[in-house]
Amino acid sequence: MTFAARRVPLDARSQNAHNFLVATTQSIIVIGGGLAGLAAATALAEHGRRVIILEARNRLGGRASSFRDTASGQLVDTCQHVSMGCCTNLAHFFRTLGVADLIEPQPCLFFMTSDRRLSRFRSSPWPAPFHLAGSFLAAHYLTPLEKLRIAYGLACLRLGGDDDPPFQDWLDRHAQTPRTVERFWGLVLVSALNEVPERIGLRYARKVFLDGFLRHRRGFEVELPRVPLGRLYGEELQAWLTRHEVDLRLNTGVKLIHVADGQVERIELRDGSTVQAHAYVAAVPFDRLLDMLPAQVVEAHAAFRELRRLETSPITSVHLWHDRPILDLPHVVLIGCAGQWVFNRGAVAAGEHYTQVVVSAARQFRGLGQEEVQRLIVAEVNRLFPKAGSAKLLRARVITEHAATFSAVPGVDCYRPPQASPLPNLFLAGDWTATGWPATMEGAVRSGYLAAEKVLGHTGLLVPDLR
């Protein structure tokens, strides 16, 4: 995926050359230094724009970032984020920054049931969609009849259209049982969409299975950072921003977006100062955008007003540090357990081995304190992985992001705005915008690229193609 200028008629080239010279002096403010904001900033900077990034925190990456653990001084990911082989925009972004070598594909996925039995999913030489047939047929946690039901459901998904009814209703109509939902459909979708099947619409459920499992032999491969997420936004990113003269301002929170005469007039910062630019990209969560915009502007435009209808879903991660390794595999997907994914983060210090357990759509933990959640997960880890029982738990930490992602409920795309907002010099980026993707790192990067494309067209440079 690259940006490439569209061809223009010969008689238009002189005007476009003039526009380019003017555009190189124009500045664009990007509000937010998460993946969406960084993707927009890098795309704009590559096209000669003067970019200013305003980030409220002292670090980059947004929700896909790390924090400094006070107990150890180590960088710790808020929650383990993964990509997949089908995430092409994210891969392009990492290549642009020069950190693609910090991402490690996992050609084999490991699935474990509560009785500690393991199944492995890996691609065979067969072309898609038959590349996973051997692993699917060998899966110990599904009966032969259940596999037939699932194969029938997958075949029906391939033939479906673009409608978006409740996915649970679709499953009921296509011969699926509570057990096939729990052990296959839900297992995949809760991880991919951070939502349970009964709350998901058909459109994004179909996208997950088609793009991730049926269209390409590598689409299903999980890709894990070999370093803390914060390291992805470290030396290489800083060097890239410096080379492209991007003005990065950390600890610079935006308070209000001032609007006059139907467009953004200026940005008011939390310290009371103001900044101005030729165009603005708001790359913040949708609820923060609603707080920044004047109430009358929100009410006047459906694109902003409908954001209130977006729903969110939580993710809980439990971080465990033991005095020895407790897991021999790089990761394990749990079936029929409280935890869903277990990630082996390896030795992070002398005598410290780090494991992270992730629970998506973690509404079952509401009302439970962190100590109770920790107790449940630690007990499960000790039962599933015998080495954990003999290891010493040095410390643990429970982190819940209550609004980690928007929910891909039926019809959700009706509430997701395009990147060009009703205010002509304000553009929107974030996985919650209209990207054709659910709430993923891929969707965030894609939104940033799409927003940059709109900015470039608005401010006079050759309009780029995103492909």
200-204 average pLDDT score: 96
309-335 average pLDDT score: 96
411-428 average pLDDT score: 97
User: CA-CA distance, 292 to 289, in Å (whole number)?
Assistant: 5
142-166 average pLDDT score: 93
Q: What is the pLDDT of residue 245?
A: 95
Q: Distances in Å between the alpha carbon of 301 and those of 283, 293, 305, 307?
A: 19, 11, 6, 10
Is residue 462 over pLDDT 80? no
User: CA-CA distance, 221 to 314, in Å (whole number)?
Assistant: 24
Is residue 203 over pLDDT 60? yes
Q: What is the pLDDT of residue 275?
A: 96
Q: In the chain, pLDDT over 70 holds for what percent of residues?
A: 93
The model's pTM is 0.90
Q: What is the pLDDT of residue 47?
A: 92
> Which residues, listed in sequence order, are joined to residue 359 by a DSSP beta bridge?
316
User: CA-CA distance, 466 to 4, in Å (whole number)?
Assistant: 7
Q: What is the pLDDT of residue 134?
A: 95
Q: What is the pLDDT of residue 83?
A: 87
- Please spell the DSSP secondary structure of 21-43, one letter per residue: HHHTT-EEEEE--BHHHHHHHHH
Is residue 69 over pLDDT 90? no
CATH of domain 66-87+223-228+311-406: 3.90.660.10
Q: Which pair of structure tokens corresponds to residue 125?
A: 């030489």
pLDDT tens column, 350-395:
999 999 999 999 999 998 999 999 999 999 999 999 999 899 999 9
Q: What is the pLDDT of residue 466?
A: 40
User: CA-CA distance, 372 to 361, in Å (whole number)?
Assistant: 18
pLDDT tens column, 122-151:
999 999 999 999 999 999 999 999 999 999
248-252 average pLDDT score: 96
Q: What is the pLDDT of residue 22?
A: 37
Helix axes 35-46, 235-243, angle to 10 degrees: 40
Enumerate residues 6+ apart whose C-beta is below 8 A from 298: 290, 304, 305
DSSP alpha helices (H): ranges in 265-421? 286-292, 295-300, 302-305, 370-384, 386-390
Burial letters for 170-202: b for 16+ Cβ neighbours within 10 Å, e otherwise? bbeebebeeebbebbbbbbbbbbbbbbbebbbb
User: CA-CA distance, 335 to 338, in Å (whole number)?
Assistant: 9
Q: What is the pLDDT of residue 17?
A: 34
Average per-residue pLDDT in the chain? 90
Is residue 465 over pLDDT 80? no
Q: Which pair of structure tokens corresponds to residue 409?
A: 């409920």
User: CA-CA distance, 202 to 418, in Å (whole number)?
Assistant: 21
In the chain, where are the structural domains located?
3-60+234-310+416-466, 66-87+223-228+311-406, 124-217
Residue 460 pLDDT grade (very low, low, confident, very high; cuts 50, 70, 90): low
User: CA-CA distance, 381 to 125, in Å (whole number)?
Assistant: 35
Is residue 429 over pLDDT 70? yes
3-60+234-310+416-466 to CATH, choices 3.20.20.10, 3.50.50.60, 1.10.3110.10, 3.40.50.10490: 3.50.50.60
Are the C-beta atoms of 190 and 196 separated by less than 8 Å?
Answer: yes
Q: What is the pLDDT of residue 459?
A: 66
Is residue 105 over pLDDT 50? yes
**Class of residue 368 by CB neighbours under 10 A (exposed 0-12, middle 13-18, buried 19+):** middle
pLDDT tens column, 204-247:
999 999 999 898 888 888 999 999 888 888 889 999 999 999 99
Q: Which pair of structure tokens corresponds to residue 352?
A: 């410290």
Q: Distances in Å between the alpha carbon of 292 and those of 263, 383, 390?
A: 14, 48, 51
Strands 312-322 and 75-77: unpaired
